[in-house]
């Protein structure tokens, strides 16, 4: 598309890489991004190979489908197998494994599972099926949560529609990871979409309290490289601040209308992240006044039992799968012995091999021949 | 879930905009957009919602700045 082609321009890319190379750093730098779309552009355009030695970019917990706790998927399966119930969810969720199997497994057993592009599709399904309970299984970060909030704000929602909320907030997970001592994160690359919605203010904490350069970037090669250049420049200069290199979409204050919708509809609660554990103030729950739309209330989803311990120290992770380490950027997919053999997109063994936001899935797509 | 490319608005009806990305058309809600949009504008789209309008001029400014910085740097050498 013409409007974006300049952000893929080879000469600009080369010049930015040269700029990054010119900055001589005292020690190796690890930049963490927290967005599946960033991982896609980095892998697709081979940006890691262009970066000088000593500058590495790792993927953090940027895949909402991957971090959705197995027990939410189990609950969705339980509902799916009830009579006269339809589960509507984003395509990415269908194949994610849990100890009760995936939604796709339930579909094989006869459950009615529908793929939606946006929350409003679920309204349509509910209206077309008045004799059935329709449950929208809503995962996603701030960018998806605002849409679901907007849906909930509508008057005259069909009575047979309820929502199973499994939304997560990005900044609390970033702060959580800074406490994982051996991760050594020197800079954060912020997903431009989340910043476009939530604004820059919520990231001030990282440069101010942790002295970590924090830069919001878009999703073309030039955007990502501008972000990395900004981060290494700050490190070199010893200045730490929030920067926005995605001015064409991100305004300082973000999208206040979307933020207001989120605030109006949700309470912020502690939440589990698959493979990572409980993170304070990182999840959303429907406010009391929307109880009627809350699938957890409607179907009496009891207070959660403790998470099952999975393999090799990972919570909620199958034995042998290393997603708990992938999600925090500690190892790369190619370090997992199952990558590309036992675990492939057609038969994903772990959650990171399902969605195109999942690091293993992205690496499989772009690095299978490496 | 996330369309990483800006989507062009080709039609608006009420609170629904039809967007075009590389020839693929889809309807999205514009309920969450903080400002008015018109046919021909570009928006960021996520899970069925337009979440922000793309400000092309701000993008052009940023690019110009980057180019200037790099050129200045090259002159210094
Ligand atoms: S390759 Fe598969 S099993 Fe290994 S970490 Fe990734 S998702 Fe888990």
* CB-based burial, B32-59: b 16+ in 10 Å, e otherwise: bbbeebeeebbbbbbbbbbbbbbbeebb
d(CA A312, CA A174): 23
Query: Rounded to whole angstroms, how far apart are CA atoms A192 and A172?
Result: 17
From chain B, pick out residues whose CB is under 8 angstroms from the CB of A146: 32, 49, 51
For A142: left if phi > 0, alpha if psi spans -120 to 50, otherwise beta; the answer is: alpha
Distances (CA, A) of A339 to A78, A359, A363: 30, 11, 9
Q: Kindly tell me if the per-residue pLDDT of A368 is higher than 60.
A: no
For residue A1, the model assigns a pLDDT of: 47
Contact flag B51-A146 (C-beta cutoff 8 Å) = yes
Distance of residue B50 Cα from the nearest chain A Cα, in angstroms: 9
* Strand extents, DSSP E, chain A: 29-33, 55-59, 85-90, 112-116, 133-140, 161-167, 187-191, 214-217, 242-244, 266-273, 277-286
Distance, in Å, from the CA atom of A150 to the CA atom of B29, rounded to the nearest integer, reads 10
Q: Write the DSSP symbol of residue A368.
A: T
B42: which residues sit within 8 A by CB, 6+ positions away?
A3, B6, B7, B8, B9, B53, B54, B56
Helix (H, G, I), strand (E, B), or coil: what is residue A105? helix
What mean pLDDT, rounded, does chain A reach?
A: 93
User: ipTM exceeding 0.85?
Assistant: yes
In chain B, where the domains are located: 2-76
How confident is the model over A354-364, as a mean pLDDT? 95
Helix or strand run (H / E) with residue A149: helix A142-153
Residue A108, number of CB atoms within 10 A of its CB: 11
Report how far apart the first and last C-alpha atoms of chain B are (Å, whole number): 45
State which of A59, A353, A355 you would mutate to test the pocket of ligand 1, scoring each by most atoms of that ligand within 8 A of its C-beta: A353
Residues paired with residue B49 on neighbouring β-strands, in sequence order = B29, B46
Residue A2 has pLDDT above 70, yes or no: no
**3-state class (DSSP) for residue A362:** helix
Output the pLDDT for position B64. Answer: 75
User: Block means of pLDDT (10 residues each) for chain B, length 77 residues?
Assistant: 76 94 90 92 92 83 71 65
- Cα A163 from Cα A90, distance rounded (Å): 13
Pairing of β A242-244 and β A214-217? parallel
Q: Which of B4, B50, B8 is nearest to B25 (CA)?
A: B8
Residue A238's nearest CA partner among A206, A262, A213 is A213
Q: Which residues of A56-67 are buried (b: 16+ CB within 10 A; e: fewer)?
A: ebbbbbbbbbbb
- Residue A196: list chain B partners with CB under 8 A: 44, 51-52
Tokens 């009760």 belong to residue: A100
Task: Quote the pLDDT of residue A9.
Answer: 87
Q: Is the pLDDT of residue A128 over 60?
A: yes
CA-atom Rg of chain B in angstroms: 16
Mapped onto helix, strand or coil, the DSSP state of residue A213 is coil
Q: How far is the CA of A370 from the centre of ligand 1 (A)?
A: 17
Reduce the DSSP state of residue B10 to 3 states and report it: strand
The secondary element (H helix, E strand) that includes residue B43 is strand B42-46
Q: Is some CB atom of chain B closer than 8 A to the CB atom of A37? A: yes
The binding-site residues of ligand 1, defined as CB within 6 angstroms of any ligand atom, are A 321-323, 326, 333, 336, 338-339, 343, 349-350, 352-353, 360
SS3 (DSSP) at A328: coil
Residues 4-63 of B with CB under 8 A from A: 4-6, 8, 21-22, 26, 28-29, 31-34, 42, 44, 46-49, 51-52, 54-56, 58-59, 61-63
Q: What percent of chain A has pLDDT over 70?
A: 95
Condensed to tens digits (0 to 9), the pLDDT of residues A340-353 reads 999 999 999 999 99
- Residue A63 has what DSSP assignment? -
CATH classification (class only), B2-76: mainly beta
DSSP letters for A263-321 = HHHEEEEEEEETTTEEEEEEEEEE-GGGGGGBHHHHTT-PSPPPPPB-GGG-BT--TT-
Q: Which atom of ligand 1 is nearest to the CA of A339?
A: 1
A150-178 average pLDDT score: 95
In this prediction the pTM is 0.93
Are A119 and B48 a contacting pair, CB within 8 Å? yes
Confidence check: pLDDT of A74 > 70: yes
Question: How far is A20 from A215, CA to CA, in rounded Å?
Answer: 15
Going by their DSSP bridges, the two strands B16-21 and B24-29 should be labelled as antiparallel
Q: Quick one: CATH architecture of A65-169+254-298?
A: 3-Layer(aba) Sandwich (3.40)
Answer whether residue A149 shows pLDDT above 90: yes
């Amino acid at each position: 598309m013409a409007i974006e082609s300049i952000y893929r321009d080879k000469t600009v890319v080369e010049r930015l890489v040269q700029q990054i190379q010119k900055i001589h750093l005292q020690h190796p730098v690890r930049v963490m991004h927290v967005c599946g779309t960033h991982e896609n552009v980095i892998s697709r355009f081979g940006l890691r190979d262009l970066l000088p030695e000593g500058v590495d970019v790792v993927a953090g917990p940027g895949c909402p489908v991957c971090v959705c706790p197995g027990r939410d998927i189990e609950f969705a399966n339980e509902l799916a197998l009830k009579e006269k119930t339809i589960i509507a969810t984003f395509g990415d969720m269908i194949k994610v494994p849990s100890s009760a199997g995936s939604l796709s497994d339930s579909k094989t057993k006869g459950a009615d599972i529908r793929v939606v592009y946006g929350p409003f599709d679920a309204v349509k399904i509910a209206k077309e099926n008045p004799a059935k309970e329709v449950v929208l299984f809503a995962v996603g970060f701030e960018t998806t949560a605002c849409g679901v909030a907007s849906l909930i704000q509508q008057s005259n929602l069909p009575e047979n529609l309820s929502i199973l909320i499994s939304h997560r907030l990005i900044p609390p997970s970033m702060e959580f990871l800074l406490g994982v001592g051996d991760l050594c994160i020197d800079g954060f690359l912020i997903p431009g979409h989340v910043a476009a919605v939530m604004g820059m203010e919520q990231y001030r904490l990282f440069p101010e309290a942790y002295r970590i350069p924090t830069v919001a970037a878009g999703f073309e090669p030039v955007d990502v490289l501008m972000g990395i250049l900004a981060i290494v420049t700050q490190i070199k200069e010893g200045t730490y601040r929030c920067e926005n290199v995605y001015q064409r979409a991100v305004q300082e204050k973000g999208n206040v209308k979307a933020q207001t919708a989120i605030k109006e509809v949700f309470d912020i609660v502690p939440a589990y992240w698959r493979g990572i554990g409980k993170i304070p103030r990182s999840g959303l729950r429907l406010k009391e006044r929307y109880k009627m739309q809350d699938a957890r209330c409607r179907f009496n989803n009891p207070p959660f039992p403790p998470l099952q311990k999975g393999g090799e120290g990972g919570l909620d992770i199958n034995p042998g799968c290393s997603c708990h380490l992938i999600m925090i950027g500690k190892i790369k997919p190619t370090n997992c012995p199952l990558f590309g053999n036992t675990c492939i997109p057609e038969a994903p063994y772990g959650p990171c091999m399902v969605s195109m936001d999942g690091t293993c899935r992205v690496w499989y797509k772009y690095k299978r021949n490496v | 879930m996330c369309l990483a490319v800006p989507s062009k608005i080709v039609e608006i009806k009420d609170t629904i905009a039809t967007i075009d990305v590389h020839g693929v058309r889809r309807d999205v809600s514009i309920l969450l957009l903080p400002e008015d949009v018109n046919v021909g504008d570009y928006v960021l789209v996520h899970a069925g919602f337009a979440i922000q309008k793309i400000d092309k001029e701000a993008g052009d400014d940023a690019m110009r700045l980057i180019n200037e910085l790099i050129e200045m740097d090259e002159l210094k050498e």
